[in-house]
Chain A
């Protein structure tokens, strides 16, 4: 009996031995790199942001309960040597950031310029990227704003819906980015207040060609769009007109709290064509945005960088600003 107990104990010990252990990873990690981002547009000031990467787990997310708050400042590179080349010729250098980690140049590039930026910083490989400023200027054919009200539930929701039409030139592979800035002025009795709607959360609710804004869209009414940076290509609407509706703002409150208000919305939509490397970076960045820790069931999103020896992108952009769009809630009545 004793022997059996001993055998059982030995077997149990083996079976229940610890199943978790550490693997040293340091020698397999690459060198830290610089993170550089810059949109370059003809006739506009050039800004370049420079920070640095670190080993996974070095930086803190703002929501990490067990760590101190975000240490983003430690990632800033404030004194890199940033050089600007126009058509192969060195035009300007900066060796200190204007604010935080943002550098700016005095030189303003022109249309058709080839712009190259090189960033040097001690202990890091040189990062470089370039932009060619001959992009097609996007055509915004039509825009409007409307309100969609849903009062079927216990709560009352008021969606500000933007309608937009973009015409593609049909010649090149074009890549687009949308943005917008609106001011909403609300009048409640005697009080009046203003708020900015920066369109950071465009929510697609309809498109005439399914799969333009989000390749995984199930239908034209699919609202589950994960395109945080609002970038898309003309792969599915080359030479055609793309029409879409987005919710750019939503208010929700219980019906019993409903008060009589009126408001006016005024602002512009910005439609830009961007270079391919910018689109690739922002598209994959948007998909990876919610965090891509190792987990079961999905492979992480590989962010495609548009630089040599660094993370981020440097690329050209051409922006069309729409006519001012106005909407008044009193007119709707």
Chain B
């Protein structure tokens, strides 16, 4: 059925194109193309709008700021616009294909001047992708945060249809999906573990981000590999004009971002870095403790760090090369060293026991990208990337003792390694066929090496080495992706965006093929009201074996096998989008999602177990999710923000019987009602405040509802009968409702060379005791709830130099 649908799509696309090309030419067309930049930094602008007032056709810039549009020959009036920038209108007589480089100035007034053309509100109405949200990085910076560190993923948790997992963590559960079903792309390269600090902070340094697009549904065909959402992040290239940057320090971490030209108007760099200093703060305390105990030395510490580095070189207007690197790491260490000695007339004894443990995990992504114009209607980019995620746990115990000159030395070492390594080659094209039709297509190949678990246990006894245990679990995968999507704006009222995403995934002896149709459409009922709908099939060839509570270095990515098939989702979504006099944008959307081949640990199986024979520890089944999302958002003026409400259901069912007896049950993050209110108010250039209030009905846990003595225990030993707990169903209990208010107050001050900002963040301002987990209580009719995130104030200081 899917294949037939896919073939129909392709035929539709090609026939429409052939039809359009065979139409008699009514008037001669010329083409304008080029790049749109920020006038100060010369940073390209992604998603900027180009709109011809005469022919009423428009387009947007691609990920490299490139646009190409076909307009009637003669006198033209073309509007170039972007959110937060002043529009530019080019009035000229254009009689041949022309290259135009546009530099837009940031808007100094808060009200967006809308005379004609596409305002941001109009784009909201006319974008043919329901389920897509574009986020401004400056909005993320202004929002309150847990540690004073602005966080992209936690900002996404404030959107409708997105649930957070464990409190304080960055997990995203999007429209009934799981935490491993989100695709995070950094300049087109997927990142496997987007977390630091056990999932409490994301790996994305917002200072280095240029653009963020978030998709919950109606995924364009260029995306694939994960089942539930896409977070497409584009990093800054660097200021072409001058060196500028920011540095900030908070209670637990410090960071900086510096960007600027290496060769003016040709080569730029952008570097940002971050590090916590919890380990440094604890050093004096540890040193003091060690000074109190002569025979024992203890050391422990934790830190995370990440670095983003990018160099961008423009050879000429048609060719640019970018090299980028992301490296992030979390490191934890612990050691104890204990010494003992004893001397008497006849005996002499000494010993030293040492335990050293270290845990290290993180990502490394490097990418070389060549963006080029083949012609004024074809833009391409070719990239080669290396992507690595790994975690390593090492524990060593060393015992040395000496008794009356007889020495004994023993060593024991446990080493655990897990990782993924990818080499990818990708080629994408944007083809601007005419004023109302453009095609995106691409091809990529990835060589994967999956090492879910490599474990070794070894030891030595008086220098005689022995390997007790070794397990090497390594799998090679090959993946080929091809896609084509067509953006067709038939009229101002009606546009569609069909596409096909094709994937071949080979791992070991197994090959999976997947043809995934995608479709989005928009119909404008009135000028300010449109209906949007879409369908997307998504496919995912890897699973994350995780505990689902916090992000652990022992969480394992495993590829599909013969027994464990890829996850596929089918999602239908649609809704009404209304812009109220350019003052506020309102949307009401419904969705239905069917998930196939989702996996979960069977009843009674610990998620902390090893990956050995993992296929037998999990069961594969179905999921179903549906709901409604309402959102009202305002993006301009002194007061911006949004209010959203989500009503949703999410279920799981594993018919094989390994989970909940094969019966359908509520998903862990099935949360019926969700309300988010986020407001940012700018009082003046010196002071602004942000508040964020979240409410959702509690997520679900499994709680015993009855108990009885095991009837199968030995009759003669009744005193030794065990008590059994009865649960009824998995996830049978709804946790108490969750709500929380976060505040941030930002005090700005102009300095000679820039601006300084003091930020006070208050997490959980009214100290709501939200239950993080619960257990059986002291009496048969009570449960005990534990909350770990009380009122938490933080302070940070940022200096921006320009």
Residues in chain A within 8 A of chain B (CB atoms): 11, 14-26, 28-30, 32-33, 35, 37, 49, 51-62, 69-70, 72-73, 75, 100, 102, 200, 211, 215-218, 229, 280, 282, 284-285, 287-289, 291-294, 296-304, 311-312
Q: Which residue of B lies closest to A16 (CB)?
A: B790
B348 at interface by CB-CB < 8 Å? no
Interface string of B759-802 (1 = CB under 8 A from A): 00000000101010111111111111111101111000000000
Chain A residues contacting B719 (CB-CB under 8 Å) are 62, 69-70, 72
Chain A residues contacting B725 (CB-CB under 8 Å) are 56, 288, 291-293, 300
Our pick among A30, A57, A69, A296 for the contact of B707 (Cβ within 8 Å) is A57
Is A280's CB under 8 angstroms from B726's CB?
A: no
Chain B residues contacting A25 (CB-CB under 8 Å) are 703, 777, 781-783
Chain A nearest CB: distance from B621 CB in Å? 14
Is B783's CB under 8 angstroms from A23's CB?
A: yes
Chain A nearest CB: distance from B732 CB in Å? 9
Is A55's CB under 8 angstroms from B547's CB?
A: no
Chain B residues contacting A216 (CB-CB under 8 Å) are 605, 613, 616-617
Chain A nearest CB: distance from B164 CB in Å? 18
- Interface-located stretch among B304-312, B687-695, B709-717: B709-717
Our pick among A61, A73, A215 for the contact of B616 (Cβ within 8 Å) is A215
Chain A residues contacting B549 (CB-CB under 8 Å) are 296
B606 at interface by CB-CB < 8 Å? yes
Is B707's CB under 8 angstroms from A218's CB?
A: no
29 A-B pairs whose Cβ atoms sit less than 8 Å apart in the complex: A15-B790, A17-B790, A19-B788, A22-B783, A22-B785, A24-B782, A29-B706, A37-B711, A53-B707, A54-B706, A62-B721, A69-B719, A72-B719, A218-B613, A280-B661, A288-B604, A288-B725, A289-B724, A292-B704, A298-B605, A299-B601, A299-B604, A299-B702, A300-B727, A300-B730, A301-B604, A302-B659, A302-B730, A303-B724
Our pick among A75, A211, A291 for the contact of B722 (Cβ within 8 Å) is A291
9 smallest CB-CB distances across A and B, nearest first, come from: A55-B780, A26-B781, A14-B791, A57-B780, A301-B604, A53-B708, A304-B661, A301-B603, A298-B606
Is A302's CB under 8 angstroms from B603's CB?
A: yes
B660 at interface by CB-CB < 8 Å? yes
A61 to B712, CA, bound (A): 15
A57 to B792, CA, bound (A): 36
Whether A53 touches B767, Cβ cut-off 8 Å, given contacts A35-B711, A294-B703, is no
Chain B residues contacting A58 (CB-CB under 8 Å) are 707, 780
Our pick among B604, B707, B720, B778 for the contact of A300 (Cβ within 8 Å) is B604
Chain B nearest CB: distance from A121 CB in Å? 14
Chain B nearest CB: distance from A296 CB in Å? 6
Chain B residues contacting A23 (CB-CB under 8 Å) are 736, 771, 774, 777, 782-785
B637 at interface by CB-CB < 8 Å? no
Is A20's CB under 8 angstroms from B785's CB?
A: yes
B111 at interface by CB-CB < 8 Å? no
Is B707's CB under 8 angstroms from A59's CB?
A: yes
Residues in chain B within 8 A of chain A (CB atoms): 547, 549, 601, 603-608, 612-613, 616-617, 657-661, 701-712, 714-715, 718-730, 733, 736, 767, 769, 771, 773-788, 790-793
Chain A nearest CB: distance from B731 CB in Å? 8
Residue among A15, A72, A218, A304 with the most chain B CB within 10 A? A72
Residue among A53, A284, A299 with the most chain B CB within 10 A? A299
Chain B nearest CB: distance from A236 CB in Å? 12
Residue among B709, B718, B771, B773 with the most chain A CB within 10 A? B709
Q: Which residue of B lies closest to A291 (CB)?
A: B722
Is B724's CB under 8 angstroms from A288's CB?
A: yes
Q: Which residue of A lies closest to B662 (CB)?
A: A304
A137 to B482, CA, bound (A): 57
Our pick among A19, A289, A301 for the contact of B769 (Cβ within 8 Å) is A19
Is B712's CB under 8 angstroms from A22's CB?
A: no
Is B786's CB under 8 angstroms from A292's CB?
A: no
Chain B residues contacting A102 (CB-CB under 8 Å) are 715
Chain A residues contacting B604 (CB-CB under 8 Å) are 287-288, 292, 298-301
Whether A59 touches B723, Cβ cut-off 8 Å, given contacts A17-B767, A37-B711, A218-B613, is yes
Chain B residues contacting A57 (CB-CB under 8 Å) are 707, 776-777, 779-780
Q: Which residue of A lies closest to B707 (CB)?
A: A56
| Contacts A11-B791, A299-B604, A303-B726 known; 13 new A-B pairs at CB < 8 A | A21-B769, A23-B777, A25-B782, A56-B707, A57-B707, A218-B612, A287-B603, A287-B604, A293-B776, A298-B601, A298-B605, A302-B659, A311-B726
A16 to B790, CA, bound (A): 8
Chain B residues contacting A21 (CB-CB under 8 Å) are 769, 784-785, 787
Is B708's CB under 8 angstroms from A300's CB?
A: no
